[in-house]
C-alpha cells in the first residue's frame, strides 16, 4: 500500500531531525572559544550541558501534549486518548537510565566520529534482546539470535575501522577513540535497561507517547541541572578538556557561548531537533510501523556518515562501510525484515510460520499490523 502524504512527511521529518540531532551535537564539539576570565581559547567540551539541552527538548514534548489536550477538549466530541492515570514516579527509573546513557554518549561523542557514534548505537539490539530474555521472560526466535550475533560482528568491524583510523587521525588520539567507542557500548547497556524498565512497568499503563517522553524529559532536565552544581567541583584530571579539569564546568560553557554565539545555534539545533525527532518517531510507529521506524533510524546513520564526509569531519574507510552493512543485516534479522522475502520461498515458508507462532513475536507483529488476529 502506498504511503500517504502525511506518512511521507513524518518519515522525512524523522530522518531529517534525527540526522540534525547528532550532527549539531558534533558541530558544537568542534567550536573553540575563550572561557571565563579570558582564559585561553579551547574547544567546547561540555557533554553534560549538551545533555541538559537534549532533555529540555524532550520536556517540550510534555508542553506539546498539554497543548494538544487543551485543543482536543474544546471540540464537541474529544477524540484524544490520554491513557490511564498513572504515578509520574514510574518514569523516574527509566529517566535516570536515559540521563546516564545520554550523558555518557555525549562524553563519547567528544572522542570519536559522528558516524561511528551512530553506528555503535546499534549495539542496543544485543543488550535489549538479552535483557528481555532474562527479565521479561521473552523467548527469542532463531533469526533474532542470528541478528544479535551478526550485530556483534558488525560492531567489531566498526571498532576495527576506528582503531585503524585512530592511528592516522590528528583530531583524536587512538586512546580517545577506543575509550569513546567503549563508552558508547556501555551507554547502550544502560539504554537497554531503560527499554526493559519501560516495557515492564510503564507501557502497561497505556500512557500517551508524548506524555511519556515529556515526563522522562522533565526528570532528566531537572535532576541533571541540579547535578551540574556538584559536577563543577569534581576534579577528573585529563579526562576533561575544560580549563579547570572538572567533570563539568557549566560557567565555562556559558562564557564560551558568550564569546562565540554560533555555539548556541548548534545547541539549539540539538534541543529543537530531539523534540521533533521524538514526535516524528512516535507518529511513524503509530501511523506506519515500528519496523519502518527502525529502517529510518538506519538511514539516519547513512545521512550522518555522508554529511560528515562531505564536511571533511572524517575520512572514508571501507571497513566502516562494511561494518555498517553488517549492522544493517543484523538489525533486519532481529526485527524480522527477512520474513516477507523468505515466505515467498517454498522451502523456507514453514520456518517463517513457525517463528510467527512464537507468542512474543506474534504479539509484536500484531502490534505493527503485519499479521492478522486469529478469530
The DSSP output letter for 32 is E
Distance CA(223)–CA(52), nearest Å, equals 9
Distance CA(56)–CA(111), nearest Å, equals 24
The ranges of the chain with pLDDT < 70 are 1-2, 82-84, 166-172, 202-203, 290-291, 338, 340-375
**What phi and psi, each to the nearest 5 degrees, are found at residue 42?**
-150, 165
The DSSP output letter for 37 is G
pLDDT of residue 183: 93
Rounded to a whole number of angstroms, the CA Rg of the chain reads 22
Distance CA(330)–CA(245), nearest Å, equals 40
212 to each of 64, 68, 148, 207, 208, how far by Cα in Å? 12, 14, 28, 6, 6
Select from 196, 243, 210, 187 the least CA-distant residue to 32.
243
**What phi and psi, each to the nearest 5 degrees, are found at residue 372?**
-100, 145
Distance CA(80)–CA(362), nearest Å, equals 28
pLDDT of residue 251: 94
pLDDT of residue 266: 94
Select from 55, 62, 61, 59 the least CA-distant residue to 99.
55
Distance CA(106)–CA(248), nearest Å, equals 12
Select from 326, 327, 320, 331 the least CA-distant residue to 112.
320
pLDDT of residue 371: 41
E strands, the chain, where?
32-33, 42-43
162 contacts 323 by C-beta, under 8 angstroms: no
pLDDT of residue 366: 43
pLDDT of residue 362: 47
Select from 18, 109, 26, 46 the least CA-distant residue to 313.
26
Q: Within 13 Å of residue 189, how many CA atoms lie on the same side as its CB?
A: 5
Amino acid at each position: 500500500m502506498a504511503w500517504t502524504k502525511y506518512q511521507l512527511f513524518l518519515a522525512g521529518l524523522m530522518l531529517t531531525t534525527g540526522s540534525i540531532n547528532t550532527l549539531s551535537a558534533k558541530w558544537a564539539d568542534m567550536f573553540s572559544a575563550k572561557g571565563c576570565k579570558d582564559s585561553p581559547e579551547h574547544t567546547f567540551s561540555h557533554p553534560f550541558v549538551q545533555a541538559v539541552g537534549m532533555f529540555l527538548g524532550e520536556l517540550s514534548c510534555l508542553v506539546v501534549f498539554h497543548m494538544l489536550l487543551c485543543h482536543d477538549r474544546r471540540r464537541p466530541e474529544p477524540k484524544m486518548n490520554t491513557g490511564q492515570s498513572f504515578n509520574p514516579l514510574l518514569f523516574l527509573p527509566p529517566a535516570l537510565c536515559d540521563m546516564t546513557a545520554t550523558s555518557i554518549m555525549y562524553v563519547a561523542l567528544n572522542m570519536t566520529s559522528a558516524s561511528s557514534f551512530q553506528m555503535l548505537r546499534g549495539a542496543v539490539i544485543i543488550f535489549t534482546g538479552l535483557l528481555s530474555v532474562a527479565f521479561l521472560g521473552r523467548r527469542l526466535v532463531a533469526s533474532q539470535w542470528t541478528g544479535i550475533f551478526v550485530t556483534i560482528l558488525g560492531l567489531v568491524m566498526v571498532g576495527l575501522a576506528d582503531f585503524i583510523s585512530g592511528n592516522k587521525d590528528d583530531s583524536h588520539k587512538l586512546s580517545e577513540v577506543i575509550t569513546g567507542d567503549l563508552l558508547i557500548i556501555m551507554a547502550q547497556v544502560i539504554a537497554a535497561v531503560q527499554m526493559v524498565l519501560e516495557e515492564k512497568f510503564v507501557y502497561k499503563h497505556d500512557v500517551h507517547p508524548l506524555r511519556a517522553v515529556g515526563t522522562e524529559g522533565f526528570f532528566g532536565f531537572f535532576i541533571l541541572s541540579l547535578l551540574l552544581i556538584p559536577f563543577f567541583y569534581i576534579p577528573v584530571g585529563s579526562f576533561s578538556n575544560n580549563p579547570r579539569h572538572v567533570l563539568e564546568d557549566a560557567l565555562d560553557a556559558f562564557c564560551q557561548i558568550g564569546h562565540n554565539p554560533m555555539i548556541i545555534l548548534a545547541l539549539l539545533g540539538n534541543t529543537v531537533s530531539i523534540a521533533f525527532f521524538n514526535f516524528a518517531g512516535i507518529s511513524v510507529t503509530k501511523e506506519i510501523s515500528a519496523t519502518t521506524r527502525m529502517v529510518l533510524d538506519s538511514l539516519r546513520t547513512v545521512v550522518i556518515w555522508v554529511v560528515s564526509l562531505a564536511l571533511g569531519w572524517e575520512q572514508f574507510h571501507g571497513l566502516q562501510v562494511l561494518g555498517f552493512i553488517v549492522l544493517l543485516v543484523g538489525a533486519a534479522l532481529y526485527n524480522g525484515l527477512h520474513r516477507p522475502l523468505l515466505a515467498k520461498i517454498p522451502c523456507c515458508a514453514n520456518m517463517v510460520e513457525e517463528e510467527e507462532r512464537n507468542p512474543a513475536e506474534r504479539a509484536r507483529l500484531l502490534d505493527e499490523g503485519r499479521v492478522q488476529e486469529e478469530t
